[in-house]
Structure formats: structure tokens, C-alpha cells
A and B are shown apart, each in its own frame.
Chain A
Amino acid sequence: MLAYLIRRLLAVVIMVLVVLLATFTVFYMLPKWAGQDIAVLFAGKATGAEQVEGIRTKLGLDEPLLVQFWEFVKAIPMGRTFANGDDVTECPAPCFGYSFVTEEPVWDTLKDALPVTLALAAGACVLWLAAGVATGVVSALKRGSVWDRGAMIAALGGVSLPIFFTGMVAMGIFVHSLGWVHIEDSLSTDDSIGVWFETLLLPWIVLALLNAAMYARLTRATMLDVLGEDYIRTARAKGLGERVVITRHALRSAMTPILTVFGLDIGVLLGGAVLTESTFNLPGLGLAAVQAINSKDLPVILGVTLFAALAIAVANLVVDLLYAVIDPRVRLG
């Protein structure tokens, strides 16, 4: 087990380095190869040549690429000071960059957005995992029944309908027509739990609807496979109760692929649910990225990208560790 853990941790460290390198390449090197001046891109809307030169010096864009990469990586744990003569800008650790549009370290933006994204992801995950898996299991057990057909058609609908459609319909009905829920303008940590719950309720449901559908189909398919396995027949032949057979034996085995997908989905969601957050105006990471794109604020786009990539890497690690709990073969291997 310990060996497994160390192997996984090492893999994540390598993955994080790859992520850093890839992000650095996309944001610092690709534009250069395409013939664009990176300092201009980082400056955002500023036009003056002097400002661009200032930013070039400040960000060290005139240094060799290796030095730049090292500074970029080092800034995250150590923080960084951008200086051009007496024009000094502090970016305390963890430094994910500095926005010259809002004149704030990018981490401030990420830090504000993170609770919203976390809350959105957590609520939606619980909903879709519970609803998706339960529907899938029931469908698999009552294969071919009206329930199965109905659930699978509903699931198909859920997968097919884009968030901005279901989101707008949900808001049209529950916010505007019926007035049952109120969506707070810009959710912040100053708001009460009640406000958070009310504001996030529709986004949770809408996001869960989209994902639950896929989980239901996935669960149904794997469950059907598993239920046909010899060891299930053996378990039944031994006289185990149907409930034990389904939950302890079949579902546990069916969980492995679901967990894999779940890990990835969580990672993606932690990087910001762009459409959900834009539709409901939830000030999370996804919306921060969209706004940064609109205001041509490259450092923030970079920060969100980097954070999202790291979130996926970490989510993968957690999934890998959970495999060990679920699947005995992993523990032995």
C-alpha cells in the first residue's frame, strides 16, 4: 500500500510539472512562435510602448526562457516581486501572476472565486452521484421495464440539453414566473448559508441533471456487465441476500469506472463550470475566466488555467487512492 501511495505521489509531482510546463508553453512560448509580443498580451488594454517595455522588464520577459520558467514555477510557493526601477509590484505567495487590469495579484481573484466554485461543485456532485447511480442501478435491475426506458430517455435528454438552455428555463420558471427562489447577485463569503443555499439550488440541480444522466447510463451499463459475472452467481448460490449481492458485490465492482469518470469531472468542475457560472452569474473560477477573456486580462486566464490543471491532477490522485479502497486488486498490486 505504501509503495502504491509513493508511486502515485511521484506520478502527481511529475504531472504537476508537466502541467506547469504545458501552461508556460501555451502562454509564454506559443504566442512568441506565432510572432506576437507577449509583453503586449500581458499588458492587457494598455497601448503605450513605454508601458509595454515596463511590463517586459517587470515580468522578466527579456530573460532566457529557462530563467523565466524557473521564476514562474518558483513564484507559486515563494511569491514574487515584479520590479521595473522604482515601480515595484508585490505578488505574495502563492503567486499565480499579477493582473495589470485590476491591479491585483491573480490569487486574490482566485481566492474570492474558489468558495463559489467549490460550493457549486460539491453540491452538484452529491446530487448527480446519488441520483445518477441510484437511477442506473434501478434501471439495471429492472432492465427493459417502463422505469428503465423512462429513466434512460430522461437521461438522454439530460445529456443533450445544454446548461444555458436548462438554466434559462429553470430560472424562467422558478425565479421569474413562480418566484420561489431568489438568486443573489454576486455571492460572497459575507452572505449567509441560507443565501448560498438558495442561490446555488438551481445551479446544482441543472448541473446535476446534465451529469447525472451520464452516470445513470454508465452505472446501468457496468451493472449489467457485472450482474452477468460468475461471482455474482456464486454469491447468490451461496445464499446471500439480494441486497448484499447488489450493494457489496456488484455495485462495488461497478464503482471503479464510475469513480474514474467522477474524479475527472470533479477536477474539471473545480477549474470552473464556465457555462453554469455564466448563466447564473455565480462569481466562481469559470466566470472569472470568462471576464478575464472579455477584458483581455491574460494573467488571470493563465492563473485560472493553471489552477484548473492542478485541480484535475489532484483529483486524479484522490481517485487513484480511492481505487485502493474499492478494488482489492490494487492493494495487492
Chain B
Amino acid sequence: MVPRRETGTAIPEVEGKMRTGSPKRRLAAGAALVVAALVTTTACGGGGDNGDKNEDGAGYNAALDKVVNASTKKGGTLKFVGKQDFDSLDPQRTYYGMTWDFLRFFTRTLVTYDTKPGEASNKLVGDLATGPAEVSEDGKTYTYKLRDGLTWEDGSALTSKDVKYGIERIWATDVITGGPAYIKQTLDPKGEYEGPYKDKSKDKLGLKAIETPDDQTIIFKLPKANGDFEQFLAMPTGAPVKQSEDTRAKYTQRPFSSGPYKIESRKANKSLVLVRNDAWKKESDPLRPALPDKITVTISANLEENDKRLMEGDYDLDVNGTGMTQSGRVSATQDHKGSIDNIQTSFVRYVALVHNTKPLDDVNCRKAVFYATDFAGLQQTRGGEVAGGEIANSVFPKSIPGHTDYDPYGILERKGKPDVAKAKAALKDCGQPNGFSTKITARTNNPGEVDAAEALQEQLAEVGIKVEVDPIDGAQSSSINGSPKVVKERGYGMIMSGWGPDFPTGQGYAQPLFDSRFIFENGNYNESEIKDKEIDGLFDEAIASTDPAKAKELYEQMNKRLIDNADWMPFIYEKNISWRSPRLTNVYSSAAYNGRYDYVSLGVVK
């Protein structure tokens, strides 16, 4: 159960060829900015050509917690653009947040996130199922009833067996790869089932943990209770697949639709076009308004150019949802402020303090780092409060239960400024009164990360902590940062990175980061190497609990303990500036999809 890093905001590694940290590239970014400025000026001088298309939108931040341009009007083409293509359109193989948001156009699951703005979206509601599961007393049996009139795109009935078959595909780990394994880990922790492709039973439905007594009933039998089980089913991995249409590895090229749209054409790394699925019945689907007649996605490599075309109305929104570029932000804020939102993502920028590297094994040395860090300075390197994000005090992002205002180091109180006196005192307590030396890693392909690490280097030098910045290739990070052996060999004391939740609960966000049983030889995300029995126990207790209020309380305790022990230092709750075309109707930011607009609700004016 290892969530892919940064799935939450979809591959930030790739987003900014021109915005990364090396001096040469910064020069490129600078040049691009100059050009953009030039172009903006000429555009304004050029007269009203562009102005007509860009009538003011509904207002700055209008779509954060309410629906902008609510409408039931059908028709038109909804046009997405993005730099990065979907990782996979196969529901059992995708792990990018943007794909999960988009897939709802043609993929349905038993339960899904409510189509409501802001944090109201975190609530699970019935999709294929009539409602949330009926859970047994011991929390080990989940029963769903399917709605009437569910269909596939060929008009055939969609049954509970299709749901079971789709989920079984997760077990075919040599063919169906890339997606999260939560359901498999929960239902079959020993991995006894071999997957549908090696299934000896006649109907290929040999997985014992799922029962389908009739076409409209599906029962899940968990060996051990897991309060987040329905969250797993809401991920695309819980989607049905029709056995006769399963093309195995190639299913990603043409998945069979259960939703209001189906794929008309698809070219990897270029485009995707969806058209209406006439077999879909509105009365079987209360969540999807299905407004546009057609949906297009264009993959286009030049971010600055994409922003410009968004503002000119050639496209409606960015499918990646990673926010506008610097030049795009500047001109959008100046000229079209009513059409942008400053979106709070569920993403946290952090520095892991490696307990296995001396002297950071000592809690006081770690506390010295907390006191000596200028959080406000780091915030500037990430783009400031609006484009970068707010200063963090909790290990949990704001939308995840477990987040509190707990701030023992006074970080928020001092508005992020360091406390040199306390830092020096902490250094004395850890037996390093003159400071110490260590190394920090930062990923070169993540925009601004090396800059932030260099800023931290300067800040910590103020109290005598000498940090050497080691820029690493983000594509290799799972075998560098993610390998405790390499971390030890190279003497890394700090690891700078970012993290977002797979699903909006404490488990979905924090377990890979802090549970000692999640320390792996490769692809390890408990980079601090926290081995704390109490933390592990809190996870077990919170996961077993089916009462969200109880789980929240436990995660709050966990947050307090992690912060008290200075185990892991968050510094930014990430925000971005997103473009929302004035053409769009039914627009709102969905916390369940990391602050992205809820794609499935969107419509267009014409």
C-alpha cells in the first residue's frame, strides 16, 4: 500500500520545464517572462480583439465554496487543455488525481464523492449503489444494493458481477499495474487469489471475499475491519469492467463506458475526445448532470502558451489542475481577476528529518531546525502566500481530519519568522552548541524545490547548522530518498519533498509517511524513518474505527505527538491559481479531488 508520491496534484515533476531551479533554467524562465510581458503589452495595444472574448468572470475565488453559474442547460463542447497526459484511462491502473477526477465522465463506482463544492465533496454517496454500504456490527461485512437501470455503453445491463470482475483485475498485478492496491491489501492481505486472468473457475469470479448473490447485490467480506474501506471503493480501482470487453493491458486505450460519455477517439500524449453515451440513463444516475455534448482534451507542451489560450477562450480549463504559470498568473490577475480562483490543495511541502542520521536522532537537534527555519522565507521561494501557499503548522493538510491549530514552536504566531535564541538553546540541549553539519536533498525537476532548499541552507547557517544541498533527479527519488540504505550511505539528514492524500482521511494521507511498518527498502515514504510504537498504535486504532469522529480525535493526537517530537517538518499548505473560463457553468472546487474543479458537473454556455 504505497501511495505514489504527489498523486494528489498530478505529477508536479513534469509541470515546469521552464520553472525549475537550475540557473540555466531560471534564465529560460526569466526570458519567457519577459516575452510574456512583451506579448501582453502588445496584446493590450492591439485593440479589442481579445477583450471581447474575455468578459469578466464570476469573481475572484467565486468557485471555492459555492457553485458558479449554476445551470441545467445542455449542449456545447467542454474543452480541456493540459501539459501532462492521463497516466492511464484503465480505472484499475490510474494513480493520478486529475485522472480520477476526469474518469467520472465514463466510469462509475459503487460509491463516489458528492458533487458539492469545497469540503462538502468529501462525503461519500451512492453512485452505482443506491447509497453507502450497510455495514455489519463488527465492521467486516459491507453490503451494497445496485440501482435499477444501470447500463454499459452497448446497452447491456451492468450487474454486480461486472463490479466484482473489475475489482478482481487489481489482483492481476503482472498485467494491471500502476493503480493503488488498497482493496487487494484489505480483502486478501496474504495475496491468495491470483487474479481473473489465472482464475480457474468458469466465470472467472473466483475471489472469495466478494459475493454476488444476485445481479443487484454485492457483499464484501473483510478479514479485518477498516473504517476507510468505502474510500477504497470510491477510487477508480472499485469500478466495474465488462468481462467480454476486457482487453487486459490494452484496456487503457479504450475503456468501456458505464457513464454518460464514451470515448470517440484517443491518441496517447495528444488528445482525447468524449461524446455522449446514448445507452446511459439519467434516472440511474442522480449525480452527473451530463451537460456538454462533447468533451475534448488537448495535450499541449507549452505551459505559457496554454495559459494564453485559456485566457483567449480557446480552452476552458487546465485538466492537470496544477495552477497557472508565473506569467499566466500575472496577466490573469491583472486583466481577468474574476475568472481565477486561489485554490487550496491538499498538498503539503515538507522537510523530513531523518532519525537515522546523526545528530538528527536527537529530538532537540530536530527542534533547533524547527526554530531556526524562516517559514516565511521558504514561502517566498514557493511563490508567496497566493501562488505558493500558507505557512504550515500541522502535519495534516487543512482538509484532512487530524489537522489542528496546535503550534508549540510559535511558527504561526511569529508569522513564520525564526526564533534564533530558542534555536540556539535547543542546539545546546542536543549537545551541539555550535551547530552541526548535514545534507539535504531537493528534486531538480520540481519547480522551486532546489531554491527552497538553498533558502533553508542560508537560514539554518544563521545558527551554525551547515547544510549541504544535494539536488537529485526526481524521477529517481524512489531509489534515492526512498532507499534508507542510500540515505544512510550518503549521510542525508533532511529530505525536501511534497505529499498529498490518496483519499481524504488520516490513513489515506499519513500512513506511508509516519507508520514504522511502512519503511521499505525501496520506494519508502517514511523518509524520517519514524519508528514510534505509539504512532503505529494510533494508526491501528483509527483504521479499525468505523466512527469518523473517533478517528479524527486519534489523528489529532498523532499530529500533536509528531510535532512535539519534531519528527517531520511541514512548511507550506500548497495553493495555486486556477483558470475558470467564463464560458463554464456549474463550476466549483472539490476538496475530494485536491481542490480541482469537479469535472463531471461542468457545462458550457454555448
A-to-B contact residues, CB < 8 Å: 36, 40, 43, 45-48, 50-51, 53-54, 84, 86-87, 89, 100-104, 109, 112, 162, 164-165, 168-169, 171-173, 176-179, 185-186, 188, 277-281, 283, 287-288, 290-291, 294-296
Smallest CB separation, A14 vs chain B (Å): 34
Say whether, besides A47-B4, A162-B31, A54 and B174 are in contact (CB < 8 Å).
Answer: yes
A176 touches B175 (CB 8 A): no
- Residue of B42, B46, B181, B301 with most partner-chain A CB within 10 A: B301
A48 touches B173 (CB 8 A): yes
Contact of B173 among A51, A84, A164, A186 (CB under 8 A): A51
Contact of B32 among A164, A277, A280 (CB under 8 A): A164
Query: How far apart sit A54 and B175, CA to CA, in the bound complex (Å)?
Result: 8
Say whether, besides A278-B17, A281-B300, A172 and B35 are in contact (CB < 8 Å).
Answer: yes
Query: How far apart sit A14 and B344, CA to CA, in the bound complex (Å)?
Result: 58
A84 touches B174 (CB 8 A): yes
Query: How far apart sit A104 and B254, CA to CA, in the bound complex (Å)?
Result: 13
A278 touches B301 (CB 8 A): yes
A294 touches B177 (CB 8 A): no
A172 touches B42 (CB 8 A): yes
A291 touches B173 (CB 8 A): no
Question: Does B479 count as interface, using CB distance less than 8 angstroms?
Answer: yes
Question: Does B268 count as interface, using CB distance less than 8 angstroms?
Answer: yes
Say whether, besides A179-B49, A185-B271, A51 and B174 are in contact (CB < 8 Å).
Answer: yes
B302 touches A165 (CB 8 A): no
A291 touches B301 (CB 8 A): yes
Shortest 7 CB-CB contacts between residues of A and residues of B: A172-B39, A46-B177, A294-B14, A54-B174, A102-B268, A168-B35, A177-B46
Which residues in A have their C-beta under 8 angstroms from that of B298? Answer: 185-186
Which residues in A have their C-beta under 8 angstroms from that of B304? Answer: 168
Say whether, besides A51-B174, A87-B175, A172-B38, A45 and B46 are in contact (CB < 8 Å).
Answer: no
Which residues in B have their C-beta under 8 angstroms from that of A176? Answer: 39, 43, 50, 308, 312
Smallest CB separation, B465 vs chain A (Å): 31
Task: Pick out which of these stretches binds chain A: B201-209, B245-253, B598-606.
Answer: B245-253
A47 touches B2 (CB 8 A): yes
Say whether, besides A47-B4, A186-B271, A186-B299, A295 and B85 are in contact (CB < 8 Å).
Answer: yes
A165 touches B4 (CB 8 A): no
A290 and chain B: residue at smallest CB distance = B301
Contact of B43 among A168, A177, A188 (CB under 8 A): A177
A103 touches B252 (CB 8 A): yes
Which residues in A have their C-beta under 8 angstroms from that of B300? Answer: 185-186, 281
A281 touches B177 (CB 8 A): no
Which residues in A have their C-beta under 8 angstroms from that of B462? Answer: none
Query: How far apart sit A165 and B271, CA to CA, in the bound complex (Å)?
Result: 26
Smallest CB separation, A27 vs chain B (Å): 15
Contact of A164 among B31, B45, B175, B479 (CB under 8 A): B31
Which residues in B have their C-beta under 8 angstroms from that of A296? Answer: 475
B27 and chain A: residue at smallest CB distance = A162
25 pairs, CB–CB < 8 Å, chain A vs chain B: A45-B95, A46-B177, A47-B178, A50-B173, A51-B177, A84-B174, A87-B174, A87-B249, A100-B249, A101-B268, A102-B268, A103-B250, A103-B252, A112-B267, A165-B35, A168-B305, A169-B38, A169-B39, A172-B38, A176-B39, A188-B267, A188-B270, A280-B302, A295-B84, A295-B269
Question: Does B28 count as interface, using CB distance less than 8 angstroms?
Answer: yes
Query: How far apart sit A188 and B177, CA to CA, in the bound complex (Å)?
Result: 30
Contact of A47 among B43, B85, B177 (CB under 8 A): B177
Within 8 A of A (CB), among B543-572: none
Within 8 A of A (CB), among B522-538: 523
Query: How far apart sit A50 and B177, CA to CA, in the bound complex (Å)?
Result: 9
Which residues in B have their C-beta under 8 angstroms from that of A283? Answer: 269-270
Contact of A165 among B13, B31, B84, B252 (CB under 8 A): B31
Smallest CB separation, B582 vs chain A (Å): 18
Smallest CB separation, B265 vs chain A (Å): 10
Which residues in B have their C-beta under 8 angstroms from that of A279? Answer: 301-302, 305
Question: Does B36 count as interface, using CB distance less than 8 angstroms?
Answer: yes
Which residues in A have their C-beta under 8 angstroms from that of B299? Answer: 186, 291
Contact of B305 among A48, A112, A171, A287 (CB under 8 A): A171
Query: How far apart sit A314 and B152, CA to CA, in the bound complex (Å)?
Result: 51
A179 and chain B: residue at smallest CB distance = B49
12 additional A-B residue pairs with CB within 8 Å, beyond A47-B177, A168-B32, A288-B269: A45-B178, A46-B177, A50-B174, A53-B174, A87-B175, A103-B249, A177-B46, A177-B49, A278-B301, A278-B302, A287-B301, A291-B299
A281 touches B305 (CB 8 A): yes
Which residues in B have their C-beta under 8 angstroms from that of A277? Answer: 301
Question: Does B228 count as interface, using CB distance less than 8 angstroms?
Answer: no
A278 and chain B: residue at smallest CB distance = B301
Which residues in B have their C-beta under 8 angstroms from that of A50? Answer: 173-174
Which residues in A have their C-beta under 8 angstroms from that of B301? Answer: 277-279, 281, 287, 290-291
Smallest CB separation, B25 vs chain A (Å): 11
Query: How far apart sit A53 and B250, CA to CA, in the bound complex (Å)?
Result: 19
B39 touches A168 (CB 8 A): yes
Query: How far apart sit A287 and B39, CA to CA, in the bound complex (Å)?
Result: 24
Question: Does B341 count as interface, using CB distance less than 8 angstroms?
Answer: no
Contact of A172 among B28, B43, B49, B252 (CB under 8 A): B43
Which residues in A have their C-beta under 8 angstroms from that of B523? Answer: 47
Say whether, besides A47-B2, A104-B268, A295 and B174 are in contact (CB < 8 Å).
Answer: no
- Residue of B31, B174, B250, B523 with most partner-chain A CB within 10 A: B174
Which residues in A have their C-beta under 8 angstroms from that of B197? Answer: 86-87
Question: Does B87 count as interface, using CB distance less than 8 angstroms?
Answer: yes
Question: Does B18 count as interface, using CB distance less than 8 angstroms?
Answer: yes
Contact of B253 among A103, A162, A294 (CB under 8 A): A103
B301 and chain A: residue at smallest CB distance = A278
B18 touches A173 (CB 8 A): no
Query: How far apart sit A103 and B4, CA to CA, in the bound complex (Å)?
Result: 20
B93 and chain A: residue at smallest CB distance = A46
User: What string of 1s and 0s marks CB contacts (under 8 Å) between B8-52 and chain A?
Assistant: 000101100110000000001001100110110011011001100
B17 touches A168 (CB 8 A): no
Say whether, besides A54-B174, A103-B249, A291-B301, A173 and B42 are in contact (CB < 8 Å).
Answer: yes
Contact of B39 among A36, A46, A53, A177 (CB under 8 A): A177
Smallest CB separation, A261 vs chain B (Å): 25
Which residues in B have their C-beta under 8 angstroms from that of A290? Answer: 17, 301
Contact of A186 among B13, B28, B174, B267 (CB under 8 A): B267
Which residues in B have their C-beta under 8 angstroms from that of A178? Answer: 46
Smallest CB separation, B483 vs chain A (Å): 11
A294 touches B302 (CB 8 A): no
User: What string of 1s and 0s marks CB contacts (under 8 Å) between B40-68 and chain A?
Assistant: 00110110011000000000000000000
Query: How far apart sit A47 and B1, CA to CA, in the bound complex (Å)?
Result: 11
Query: How far apart sit A288 and B479, CA to CA, in the bound complex (Å)?
Result: 26
Query: How far apart sit A177 and B308, CA to CA, in the bound complex (Å)?
Result: 11
Which residues in B have their C-beta under 8 angstroms from that of A101? Answer: 87, 268
Which residues in B have their C-beta under 8 angstroms from that of A278? Answer: 17, 301-302
Smallest CB separation, A192 vs chain B (Å): 18
User: What string of 1s and 0s marks CB contacts (under 8 Å) between B183-204 and chain A?
Assistant: 0000000000000010000000
Which residues in A have their C-beta under 8 angstroms from that of B31? Answer: 162, 164-165
Smallest CB separation, B113 vs chain A (Å): 24
Which residues in A have their C-beta under 8 angstroms from that of B175? Answer: 54, 87
Smallest CB separation, B29 vs chain A (Å): 10
Which residues in B have their C-beta under 8 angstroms from that of A36? Answer: 479
Smallest CB separation, A97 vs chain B (Å): 15
Query: How far apart sit A238 and B208, CA to CA, in the bound complex (Å)?
Result: 99
Which residues in B have their C-beta under 8 angstroms from that of A100? Answer: 249
Which residues in B have their C-beta under 8 angstroms from that of A51? Answer: 173-174, 177
Smallest CB separation, A197 vs chain B (Å): 20
Contact of A48 among B43, B50, B177 (CB under 8 A): B177
Which residues in B have their C-beta under 8 angstroms from that of A53? Answer: 174
Smallest CB separation, B466 vs chain A (Å): 29
Which residues in A have their C-beta under 8 angstroms from that of B177? Answer: 43, 46-48, 51
